A and B are shown apart, each in its own frame.
Chain A
Amino acid sequence: MTTLSAFTEDDLAAASAAAGEPNWLTDRRLAAAKRALDLAWPDSRKDEFWRSTPFQQRIDVDRELVRSGAGDPPRSFTDGLGLTLPTARIVDGVLTEVTVPEELAQRGVVVTDLSAAATDHRGLVEAHLGSLTTNDPEGTGGDADRTITANDAAWTAGVFIHVPAEVELDAPIVVRIHASESGAHLPRVLAVLGHHARASLYLEHTSTSDVDALVDQVVEVIAADAAKLDVASFQLWGNKVDHLALQKVQAHRDSEIRHVSVTIGGRTVRLLPETDLVGPGAQTRPLGVYFADEGQWFDLQPYVRHIAPNASSDVLFKGALQGNSRTVFRGNIFVHRDAVGTDTDENNKYLILTEGARADATPFLEIECADITAGHGSATGQIDALQLYYLTSRGIPRDQALRLIVTGFFREVFSDVELPGVQDAALERIEALVEAADLSSFQVNDASLQDLRDE
């Protein structure tokens, strides 16, 4: 039996051979295994970036690696888009299905098994796989804690995506990751966009409702000069799934990156949407919505590294909490000493809907360069009594008014997001959660009522 905490080099070599991987990849896995086994698991009392999730209490690493491919994923929110989308499915640790419409294949678009791509697309895969997870003195990389290094070594199912230079895709590429078997799931995604390519990548994470699983995920994306990339990541897990995710983009000159995360399901979700702005003029916009309920712990850590000059970043995360839930927003901005002309802003706003929920927001700025524009803000709140009054004074019943206000609160995040299906899928799910909530327990803040008493 191979577990996440105690895999051996023999296990990994055997699995790599069974997947038909070339020697260079097997060697890399073994080197990563060596590093992983030398590292301790994160300690939330000591490791700065793990303070926000109590690793020991919430994450069980003594789990067998799942490689069965047995489950059957539910309908995708992209099914309704009426398109044949390039799609890859990872089910219970196995890449079970890949679809690439012929028209896209002819334009050179690749969506394929990462193990096979290590041979068939060796140049790109060898150059980029793991390039964002190993330490780099230039400040890019650096996410090499054991949860990530373990994936480097032991990922069980991988997808490789290539959108060649100057190919512009209108429809999204969908990677669906589903868990129905208890244990440790280690999916991996590597995507490479050539210069002036345009694509969007949807990551849809689902599970059966009762599966007890740990999903330890790494997504690496290279966006070459002037590429335009949108990533939309939906965390729709059942409530016994813990998800540790590094979703990292390397953004070259004048590229435009947007990462939209929708975190709703899961027992623990620790999501790191990261962008390394390595080329001048690159832009990134990490956006997120989250809605946490009883027992859930969401740790959202957008991380932007400004390595090159004149790049910009604009982070916006909005969340709502109810029941005994906990969310942490930790917006990390690093500005390298050479990154003059950096323009960065980050904001986090959240609504505490009921008593017992707790949210923390920590902007974390590490700025080595003086010649920049930086802003950050955080706002916590409850439903505004004045807004509630205004809507009800027009005849809208209180419960319906509360639903309008809460979904309206999230809508701002999507104001300039035009990704097919994404806004609707996110808001419909949030609406359903509010619909199911005990609206009479929602806290309403009446501070704004005072403003009116100016007579």
Chain B
Amino acid sequence: MADLEIRDLHVEADDTPILRGVDLDLDKGRTIALMGPNGSGKSTLAYAIAGHPAYEVTGGTITWKGTELNELTPDERAQLGVFLAMQYPVEVPGVSLTNFLRTAVNAVRDEDVPVREFMQSLRSEMAELGVDDSFLQRSVNEGFSGGEKKRFEILQAALLRPELAVLDETDSGLDVDALRIVAEGVNRLSGPDLGVLIITHYTRILRYITADEVHVMFEGRIVASGGAELADELEEGGYERIRAEHGVSV
């Protein structure tokens, strides 16, 4: 049994079916890229894994390390090691980045990490990601540029040390330098204890992060699977071939 096992997953948002039977396996230590055109349901899968309240699982299962996630709250999932780097990170006014991160780290590790130790690891991760110290006093995501928000997502992953990291369009909106910094951040986290699911429309992030498998989603189902060569093929020919093979245009 794979660490993450998704079986025949059906998900609706606002009573509209989006995922129509998704199967996916991901083991720790491996990296999977999930690609697909806009509207194919990639992000919906990410949210379903992370328990977003706007998405309702209407059928099928998401099992993580033997535990069925469907009935768990978002914080319970995070405490099991699930992390979603969001496409649109949310601004939380008045909650300082430091306070937020420390509260989250303590909750996930279920211990009171000493302030000094916490600040040390925070500062060193910030330095790695090129995040300025001035961010410590800022409110969560408030007034951050797009690139800053994405870096901050990866910073959170670095501190929370998840076992499953879902990166939802983390590359979108990043310039080349920022993309490289973010990708290096992900690569530093990678290892035998982390499974990575990269959700992306474009292949550019896959130049920096090597995927073991590539899957293509179309209209709420995975319609093609392969190795890294599948991404190259998409880079060359776009999603046209997929569209042609699987019918209606999007």
A residues in contact (CB < 8 Å) with B: 385-387, 389-398, 400-401, 404-405, 407-412, 446, 449-450, 452-453, 455
Which residues in B have their C-beta under 8 angstroms from that of A396? 75, 100, 103-104, 107
In contact, B86 and A390 (Cβ under 8 angstroms): yes
Which residues in A have their C-beta under 8 angstroms from that of B75? 392-398, 401
Closest to A448 in B: B90
In contact, A408 and B92 (Cβ under 8 angstroms): yes
Assembly CA distance A74 to B92 (angstroms): 35
Assembly CA distance A357 to B88 (angstroms): 33
Indicate whether A453 sits within 8 Å of B14 (C-beta atoms), given known contacts A392-B74, A404-B103: yes
CB < 8 Å neighbour of A393 from B78, B93, B103, B139: B78
**A392, A394, A408, A410 — most chain B CB neighbours (10 Å):** A394
For residue B83, give the distance in angstroms from its CB to the closest CB of chain A.
Answer: 8
In contact, A455 and B43 (Cβ under 8 angstroms): yes
In contact, B79 and A395 (Cβ under 8 angstroms): yes
Closest to B156 in A: A394
In contact, B78 and A385 (Cβ under 8 angstroms): no
Chain B window 97-127, contacts with chain A (Cβ cutoff 8 Å), 1 for yes, 0 for no: 0011001100110000000000000000000
The number of chain B residues with a CB under 8 A from chain A is 43
CB < 8 Å neighbour of B92 from A398, A405, A446, A455: A405
CB < 8 Å neighbour of A395 from B18, B38, B47, B108: B108
Can you name 26 A-B pairs with beta carbons within 8 Å? A389-B90, A390-B86, A390-B89, A392-B78, A393-B50, A393-B74, A393-B75, A394-B78, A394-B104, A395-B78, A395-B79, A396-B103, A396-B107, A398-B75, A404-B92, A404-B99, A407-B94, A408-B139, A411-B139, A449-B54, A450-B14, A452-B52, A453-B13, A455-B18, A455-B42, A455-B43
B24 at the interface (CB under 8 A from A): no
Closest to B39 in A: A455
For residue B86, give the distance in angstroms from its CB to the closest CB of chain A.
Answer: 7
Assembly CA distance A392 to B84 (angstroms): 11
Which residues in A have their C-beta under 8 angstroms from that of B51? 393
In residues 180-211 of chain B, which contact A (Cβ within 8 Å)?
none
Which residues in A have their C-beta under 8 angstroms from that of B140? 390
In contact, A404 and B100 (Cβ under 8 angstroms): yes
Assembly CA distance A395 to B103 (angstroms): 9
Which residues in A have their C-beta under 8 angstroms from that of B47? 452
Assembly CA distance A396 to B18 (angstroms): 28
Which residues in B have their C-beta under 8 angstroms from that of A446? 53-54
Assembly CA distance A392 to B92 (angstroms): 12
Indicate whether A453 sits within 8 Å of B90 (C-beta atoms), given known contacts A394-B160, A395-B75: no
CB < 8 Å neighbour of A400 from B79, B84, B103, B139: B103
Assembly CA distance A193 to B91 (angstroms): 42
In contact, A408 and B93 (Cβ under 8 angstroms): yes
Chain B window 33-55, contacts with chain A (Cβ cutoff 8 Å), 1 for yes, 0 for no: 00000111111100100111110
Indicate whether A405 sits within 8 Å of B73 (C-beta atoms), given known contacts A449-B54, A450-B14, A455-B18: no
In contact, B18 and A452 (Cβ under 8 angstroms): no
In contact, A390 and B108 (Cβ under 8 angstroms): no
Which residues in B have their C-beta under 8 angstroms from that of A404? 92, 95, 99-100, 103
For residue B194, give the distance in angstroms from its CB to the closest CB of chain A.
Answer: 16
For residue B151, give the distance in angstroms from its CB to the closest CB of chain A.
Answer: 16
Indicate whether A455 sits within 8 Å of B95 (C-beta atoms), given known contacts A393-B78, A396-B103: no
In contact, A389 and B53 (Cβ under 8 angstroms): yes
Which residues in B have their C-beta under 8 angstroms from that of A391? 92, 95, 100, 104
Closest to A385 in B: B53
Which residues in A have their C-beta under 8 angstroms from that of B38? 455
In contact, A395 and B104 (Cβ under 8 angstroms): yes
**A397, A412, A446, A450 — most chain B CB neighbours (10 Å):** A397
Which residues in B have their C-beta under 8 angstroms from that of A411? 93-95, 139
In contact, A408 and B18 (Cβ under 8 angstroms): no
Which residues in A have their C-beta under 8 angstroms from that of B94? 407-412
Closest to B139 in A: A408
Assembly CA distance A449 to B41 (angstroms): 17
For residue A422, give the distance in angstroms from its CB to the closest CB of chain B.
Answer: 16
Which residues in A have their C-beta under 8 angstroms from that of B104? 391, 394-396
Which residues in B have their C-beta under 8 angstroms from that of A398? 73, 75
Which residues in B have their C-beta under 8 angstroms from that of A410? 94
Which residues in A have their C-beta under 8 angstroms from that of B78? 392-395
Assembly CA distance A409 to B73 (angstroms): 24
**B18, B75, B78 — most chain A CB neighbours (10 Å):** B75
Assembly CA distance A411 to B44 (angstroms): 34
For residue B150, give the distance in angstroms from its CB to the closest CB of chain A.
Answer: 14
Which residues in B have their C-beta under 8 angstroms from that of A385? 53
In contact, A386 and B93 (Cβ under 8 angstroms): no
Which residues in B have their C-beta under 8 angstroms from that of A393? 50-52, 74-75, 77-78, 84, 86
Assembly CA distance A453 to B152 (angstroms): 22
List 14 other contacts, CB 8 Å, given A392-B74, A452-B88, A455-B40: A385-B53, A386-B90, A387-B91, A390-B140, A393-B84, A394-B104, A394-B108, A397-B75, A398-B75, A408-B93, A411-B139, A446-B54, A452-B47, A455-B42
Which residues in B have their C-beta under 8 angstroms from that of A400? 103, 107
**B54, B86, B108 — most chain A CB neighbours (10 Å):** B54
In residues 218-250 of chain B, which contact A (Cβ within 8 Å)?
none
Assembly CA distance A395 to B82 (angstroms): 9
Which residues in A have their C-beta under 8 angstroms from that of B84? 393
Which residues in B have their C-beta under 8 angstroms from that of A390? 86, 89-90, 92, 140
In contact, A392 and B73 (Cβ under 8 angstroms): yes
Assembly CA distance A398 to B107 (angstroms): 11
Closest to A412 in B: B94
